[in-house]
């Protein structure tokens, strides 16, 4: 699925040449640099993306909003390359008001990927407070709370996310998951999740099996 969403090699090469032409024609326009970094990152050409972002940052370091947009792009290069410790400082340096919450969200996701859930939660809640009406901000808080084992709180945020986006199979699945752990009715949520996002449901079915085993083991312990 992920490969299909990226441009194929021929398309990517054509876009790369087009953007290089734009940079040569207008070297003071930072947008083409940013778009080329994004394109190279999408094609998983992380080395070239990093080199270009660094070069552009050196050129536009004292200019806003160019510098912050390029820092964000470089942070995303490192995030996609799974070098989260390199990504975090670039997100932290962003001061541009429009980009700040996007940077905070990426910081939360980077810290979550490092299993530093407590710090991830701080940044995720900061974003959620600014974007309480956005499903993805609520989902991020919920995912971190779930990882911390705070099932009731996680459930509350999944419910908020689903209320904002009733087409979210991810939210429906995780409402069912937390309900299962909390001893609440859950079957309807899994049915709904399967209809809304079969790919997500299949990818996370193992979680259901694991939780069913855990609950069965707990029930056995209580009987013994």
Question: Residue 59: phi, psi to the nearest 5?
Answer: -80, -40
**For residue 129, what are its two tokens?**
């407070």
Instruction: Record the tokens describing residue 173, joined without a space.
Output: 């699945």
In whole angstroms, give the CA distance from residue 182 to residue 201.
Answer: 20
- pLDDT at residue 4, as a whole number: 40
Is the pLDDT assigned to residue 220 strictly greater than 70?
A: no
Instruction: Give start and end residues of each alpha helix (H) in the chain.
Output: 2-5, 9-25, 30-42, 46-60, 66-80, 84-92, 97-113, 117-130, 135-147, 151-164, 169-182, 187-196, 198-203, 205-223
Report the pLDDT value the prediction gives residue 2, as an integer from 0 to 100.
37
Q: If you count them, how many residues does the chain have? A: 224
Query: Which pLDDT tens digit goes with each residue over 144-194?
Result: 999 999 999 999 999 999 999 999 999 999 999 999 999 999 999 999 999
Q: What is residue 20's predicted lDDT score, i.e. its pLDDT?
A: 87
pLDDT of residue 10: 77
Per the rule left: phi > 0, alpha: psi between -120 and 50, beta: everything else, 14 is alpha
Give pLDDT, residue 206: 83
Q: Are 166 and 193 in contact (CB under 8 A)?
A: no
Q: Given a cut of 60, is residue 72 above it in pLDDT? A: yes
Q: What is the pTM of this model?
A: 0.86
> For the chain, what is the mean pLDDT?
91
Give me the mean pLDDT over the 82-90 stretch.
97
pLDDT at residue number 130: 95
Q: How far apart, in whole angstroms, are the C-alpha atoms of residue 166 and residue 159? A: 10
At 3 the pLDDT is: 39
Tell me what pLDDT residue 223 has: 59
- Half-sphere exposure of residue 157, counting CA atoms within 13 Å on the CB side? 23
DSSP structure class, residue 8: P
Q: What percent of the chain has pLDDT over 90?
A: 77
Q: What is the DSSP string of 130-195?
A: H-TT-HHHHHHHHHHHHHTT-HHHHHHHHHHHHHH-TT-HHHHHHHHHHHHHHTS--HHHHHHHHH
The tens digit of pLDDT for each residue in 15-60 reads: 877 888 888 888 899 999 999 999 999 999 999 999 999 999 999 9
Residues contacting 212, CB < 8 A, separation 6+: 180
What is the predicted pLDDT for the residue at 188?
A: 96
Whole-number pLDDT of residue 1: 33
Query: Is pLDDT at 139 greater than 70 in this prediction?
Result: yes
**pLDDT band (50, 70, 90) for residue 216:** confident
């Amino acid at each position: 699925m992920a490969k299909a969403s990226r441009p194929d090699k021929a398309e990517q090469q054509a876009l790369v040449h087009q953007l290089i032409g734009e940079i040569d024609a207008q070297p003071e326009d930072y947008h083409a640099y940013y778009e080329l970094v994004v394109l190279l990152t999408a094609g998983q050409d992380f080395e070239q993306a990093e080199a270009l972002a660094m070069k552009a940052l050196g050129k536009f370091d004292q200019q806003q909003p160019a510098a912050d947009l390029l820092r964000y792009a470089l942070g995303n290069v490192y995030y996609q390359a799974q070098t989260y410790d390199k990504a975090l400082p670039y997100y932290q340096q962003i001061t541009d008001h429009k980009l700040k919450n996007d940077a905070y969200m990426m910081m939360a996701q980077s810290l979550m990927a490092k299993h530093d859930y407590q710090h991830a939660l701080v940044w995720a809640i900061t974003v959620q407070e600014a974007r309480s009406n956005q499903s993805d901000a609520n989902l991020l808080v919920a995912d971190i709370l779930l990882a911390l084992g705070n099932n009731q709180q996680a459930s509350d945020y999944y419910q908020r996310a689903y209320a904002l986006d009733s087409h979210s199979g991810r939210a429906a699945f995780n409402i069912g998951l937390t309900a299962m752990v909390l001893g609440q009715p859950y079957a309807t949520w899994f049915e709904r999740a399967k209809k809304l996002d079969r790919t997500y449901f299949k990818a996370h079915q193992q979680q259901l099996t694991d939780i069913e085993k855990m609950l069965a083991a707990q029930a056995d312990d209580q009987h013994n």
